[in-house]
Structure 1
Amino acid sequence: MKIKLFILILTLSVFVFPKAQTHRFIYDVPYKKDSTSTILTKENYILDIGPTETKYYTYDFFIADSLISNNIPFPKEMKLNTSDIIVHKNNSNAFSQYDLLENTVLNLQTTDIQNWKLSNENKRVKELNLQKATTTWGGRNWTAWFTMDIPFQEGPYKFHGLPGLIVEIFDDKNNYHFQLAKSENKKALVENQFIEMAIEMSVPITLEKYKTTKLKYYESPINFIKNGIGETNSDQFFLNDGTFVNCKNSREINEQLKNIIKKYNNPIELDKAIVYPK
């Protein structure tokens, strides 16, 4: 499969960390929100590798940070409650997964290891030498192409542990496809107010409690959000995507949210998918 690599002019000096530096890699991610559909949604995700910590998040969070800094309201098309923020220490198997449920942020600690099988298959794309690897993880079979030309044992989402950066990775059912599109070298540590705010307000939670909370959210998204806001008597509020909720439309929006949650239940880690009531 052809990989779109727009900016990959990297030299060895790029990979030497001075004090306070971030290497940013941006991925194109076409994926299926609904596994029963052929429709693909395409988003861009950012992988920021710092001296000690790596963060993975949707490009919308980068935009959100700019909006917060300039006191500008979020545009209606931004769905900030649909994506996770993934954080982990470099060369570690411990991950912090921050799941945004409107005004509530769940902090799930996980340990994730992929048992990679290296292949002798190689190819050269643009300036990069790529090697193939495969693994079964998260309930899916994955094929990855990594490069030792970029000596970071990291990749998009929670994928890591190969002897070089993961440039491309996809599952055998074509539900998810991560492709490196761009690289940037930041001379200072990257700070994101939106992400830091989400982490600060997050609630630590176990996997069992996580599933219970997601089911509770599904039962009545509107009530869950109102409780998270702390104004259970308020009949008027905004969702993160700009939707205005009031007493006249709350029931309709509640059903819409439930249908969306149930329909778009195709997570990367399929073995952790929530089983919602029929």
Structure 2
Amino acid sequence: MYSCNYILIFVFCTISFVSGQKYRFVYSYMSIPDTLNKNNIINENMVLEIDKDKSVFISQRKMISDSVMAEDAKKGIMTMPDENINTRYIIVKKYPDFKTNLITDEFSTSYRFIISDDRSLHWVLLPEKRTIGNYECQKAELDFAGRKWIAWFTEEIPFNDGPYKFKGLPGLIIEIKDLSNSHGFQLQGMKKIEDKSVPVIIDEKKKIRSFTFKDFVTFYKEYRKDPAKEFRQRVLSGDVYYESEEKRQEHMKLIESLRKERVKKDNNIIELDLLK
């Protein structure tokens, strides 16, 4: 259980934006991971922290968990990550060219992946406008990663950024969702911040594997075919100890079954074209 001192409170109101200052935007993220169970709707808060040279996009629950882990580590205490984190990746966009990296340890117990993504986003600006909160917003459309997206952005918040990998509009994205209503982000609040940046916990036991996006696509397709491959290799090499051969076989079968079932139910990922 985390201390209430880590709970972040935001107000969706008009603030003045000054160059060089740091801002934190909170988005609600709605997703439907399984097309065969559309009643299973996951809602979570995501944080977009914008600094002068980069932005960081991270699950609010992960941000809090990582903050606790970082503070405990200073005291020599080992704390496990929050088991209820849904979105485990972190996305970093470097300014001014918006070079985008996705950082995750979701696919490996031994490696942390850094996946660079230099795909361009080809927005279509539309004349339609509406007011969201206190901001006048304009509509834009985008075909990206196997989905068609509808976004609303405002030039009154002068950042060409947004949730996830979305970027490049002439103002901050306030709302964006795909036409199937499987994934959507909605701005909930914002504030200036003076504290330290979002922590990115580095597990010293894990090595870094860097991928171009093209190479990651190849890896990901193989991973979905056999999500327990790395674990099985570790077991067969003796990295994992078992009391008996029977226990080893039993545990391997369990892990393979659980991971295959998880992949099977995760069939509506945000970048849908990775499944093709």
TM-score (norm 2): 0.80
The 1:170–1:270 alpha-carbon spacing in structure 2 relative to 1, beyond 3 Å, is same
5+ residue gaps, structure 2, are 1-9, 73-77
Equivalent AA in structure 1 for residue 141 of structure 2: T
Q: Indicate the residue corresponding to 1:182 in structure 2.
A: 189
Cα-to-partner distance string for 1:128-168 (whole Å, 9 max, x where unaligned): 11111112121111111111111111000111111110000
Q: Indicate the residue corresponding to 1:133 in structure 2.
A: 140
The 1:170–1:229 alpha-carbon spacing in structure 2 relative to 1, beyond 3 Å, is farther
Q: Which of 124, 135, 143 matches 2:150?
A: 143
The 1:266–1:8 alpha-carbon spacing in structure 2 relative to 1, beyond 3 Å, is same
Distance 1:36 1:48 in 2: 34
Q: Indicate the residue corresponding to 2:44 in structure 1.
A: 43
Q: Indicate the residue corresponding to 1:99 in structure 2.
A: 104
Q: CA offset at residue 91 of structure 1? A: 3.9
8 Å contact kept, 1:54–1:88: yes
Equivalent AA in structure 2 for residue 265 of structure 1: N
TM-score (norm 1): 0.79
Q: Which of 123, 142, 147 matches 2:130?
A: 123
Distance 2:120 2:181 in 1: 22
Cα-to-partner distance string for 1:85-110 (whole Å, 9 max, x where unaligned): 21121242421122322422222211
Distance 1:127 1:211 in 2: 40
5+ residue gaps, structure 1, are 1-5, 237-245
- Number of equivalences: 253
Equivalent AA in structure 2 for residue 187 of structure 1: E
- 1:4-43 alignment to 2 at 5 Å? 7-12=11-16, 15-18=17-20, 21-38=21-38, 39-43=40-44
Report SS of the residue matched to 2:65.
helix
Equivalent AA in structure 1 for residue 177 of structure 2: F
Equivalent AA in structure 1 for residue 190 of structure 2: S
Report SS of the residue matched to 2:114.
strand
Q: Indicate the residue corresponding to 2:79 in structure 1.
A: 72
**2:91 matches 1:86:** yes
Distance 2:141 2:214 in 1: 29
Q: CA offset at residue 170 of structure 1? A: 0.6
**2:60 matches 1:62:** no
The 1:162–1:185 alpha-carbon spacing in structure 2 relative to 1, beyond 3 Å, is same
8 Å contact kept, 1:91–1:153: no
Distance 2:224 2:238 in 1: 17
The 1:83–1:235 alpha-carbon spacing in structure 2 relative to 1, beyond 3 Å, is same
The 1:125–1:224 alpha-carbon spacing in structure 2 relative to 1, beyond 3 Å, is same
Cα-to-partner distance string for 1:229-277 (whole Å, 9 max, x where unaligned): 99843136xxxxxxxxx7343311321111211320322222223x5xx
Q: Which of 256, 260, 263 matches 1:261?
A: 263
Cα-to-partner distance string for 1:31-53 (whole Å, 9 max, x where unaligned): 11113431311122111111011
The 1:121–1:207 alpha-carbon spacing in structure 2 relative to 1, beyond 3 Å, is closer
